[in-house]
Amino acid sequence: MKTTYRAMQVTRPGVLELVERPVPAPGPGEVLIEVEACGVCGADAADIEQADPALASPRVPGHEVVGRIAAMGADTPPLWRVGQRVGVGRLGGHCNACDACRRGQFQLCRQQPFVGATCDGGYAEMMLARSTGLVAIPAELNAEEAAPILCAGIATFNALRKCGADAGDVVAVFGIGGLGHMALQYARRMGFEVVAIGRGDDIAADALALGAHHYLDTARDDAAARLTQMGGAQAIVATAGDAASVGALMRGLAPQGRMMLLGAGKDPLAVAAGPLVVGEQSVVGSLTGSPWENEKTLRFSVLSGARPMIETLPFERANEAWLKMKSGEARFRMVLTMTHPATDA
């Protein structure tokens, strides 16, 4: 194994720099991953722009990581082996000791790192990861298409699984971007009547091609009123963090409908209490999920043919990739690729 690896680290807030680092040795319960691909997520912008300049070792962002295990630390479960294809999402591995872990709610563990934010991520040729955060990657998916599923995929898949809608119900997806374009595919394949809600006609054709039965343009449509005309949405999956728009869409929920929040904006969400109480409606936050749930998302993607629409760039061009993602110009997900050769298991 080589002794150094290259990484794109945040040398100062908003700026990524290509550096060379010594290859670390995995500690107890850790593995060293040789990275093949890393997706670029909307959350990466905050990790890059708000990175702590006081860190002794500048942070490496990226939390949609696919690669192969290059080395394993002591006490790594025999489930994993050197050479195995694995992935790591936003949640970096639960502790197995806290109250949430004892309840089996591993995604709620407060003792796990957030990959790319509180520990180094995948904008690099190598990275360390807790074995409790590892996800097995199906052979049917290449690294580039599997990477976005580890965050955008599981976030939307889990939200739809928990939304309370049955096949045939109206389910709306607000925000047709990196998350929304996966939500449309999953929702269609789960048997819902899918309504895409976006802004502008430029996204309409893509939304319909991705699985939407209907497209509502908020620039000209009263989306909540249109949903009400359809009988109301049993669920609205909000991938955008625009609190005012999300609050307005609440009027389009059916009785006992759920607003599933994925976009975490900074503004408070204003919700009228009357309709919420009278309609027995709810607002639900939805996190990504556990490694087991991530593997379930990957399997569903393989079985149903759902795939992210991606643009790839060499990881050395990470500055260009995350800026394109942040500007909304990506269609629909940017993925960084590594230069070393990758083979399928």
Whole-prediction pTM: 0.94
pLDDT digits (tens, 9 = 90+) for 225-272: 999 999 999 999 999 888 999 999 999 999 999 999 997 778 889 888
DSSP 219-250: TT--HHHHHHHTT-EEEEEE-S--HHHHHHHG
Q: Domain for residue 343, yes or no? A: no
Which tokens is 323 given?
A: 């800026």
| Same domain for 146 and 293 | yes
Which CA distances in Å does 229 have to 279, 300, 333? 16, 32, 33
Q: Which has more pLDDT, 109 or 343?
A: 109
Q: Examine the fold and report which residue of 285, 304, 327 is the final residue of a domain before the chain moves on.
A: 285
Angle (nearest 5°) at CA 202 between 198 and 204: 55
- pLDDT value of position 345: 39
Digit-coded pLDDT (tens) for 64-84: 999 999 999 999 999 999 999
pLDDT in tens, 121-147: 999 999 999 999 999 999 999 999 999
Residue 52 has pLDDT above 90, yes or no: no
What's the pLDDT score for residue 56?
77
Is residue 13 located within the same domain as residue 141? yes
Mean of all residue pLDDT scores within the chain? 94
Give the range among 183-197, 294-308, 328-342 with minimum mean pLDDT: 328-342
Asked whether residue 233 is assigned to any structural domain, the reply reads: yes
Q: What does the pLDDT average to over 315-322?
A: 96
User: Average of pLDDT values for 273-283?
Assistant: 93
CB 154 within 8 A of CB 289: yes
| Nearest partner of 41 among 131, 124, 117, 129, judged by Cα | 117
> Torsions phi, psi of 141, nearest 5?
-110, 130
| Mean predicted confidence (pLDDT) in 183-208 | 96
Evaluated on CA atoms 277, 161, 182, 233, the torsion sign reads negative
SS3 label, residue 264: coil
CA distance 276 to 253: 9
Closest CA to 7 of 25, 33, 30, 43: 33
Residues 208-216, mean pLDDT to the nearest whole number = 98
Q: Is residue 220 part of a domain?
A: yes
- Give yes or no: residues 279 and 173 share one domain: yes
User: In this predicted model, which residue has the larger pLDDT, 12 or 167?
Assistant: 167
Q: Is residue 284 scored above 50 in pLDDT? A: yes
The CATH number of the domain where 22 resides is what? 3.90.180.10
Domain containing 74: what range? Answer: 4-151+289-337
pLDDT recorded at residue 1: 74
C-alpha distances (whole Å) from 168 to each of 188, 234, 282, 285 are 10, 10, 20, 23
- The total number of residues shown for the chain amounts to 345
Residue at a domain's end among 261, 285, 309? 285
The secondary structure of residue 91, as a DSSP letter, is: B
Given a cut of 60, whether residue 341 has pLDDT beyond it is no
Provide the residue type at 269 as one letter.
L
pLDDT at 343 over 60: no
- 129: its two tokens: 């990861």
108 vs 343, residue with greater confidence: 108
Count of domains in the chain? 2
**Whole-number pLDDT of residue 340:** 53
User: Is 176 inside a domain boundary?
Assistant: yes
Q: Is residue 327 part of a domain?
A: yes
pLDDT of residue 57: 84
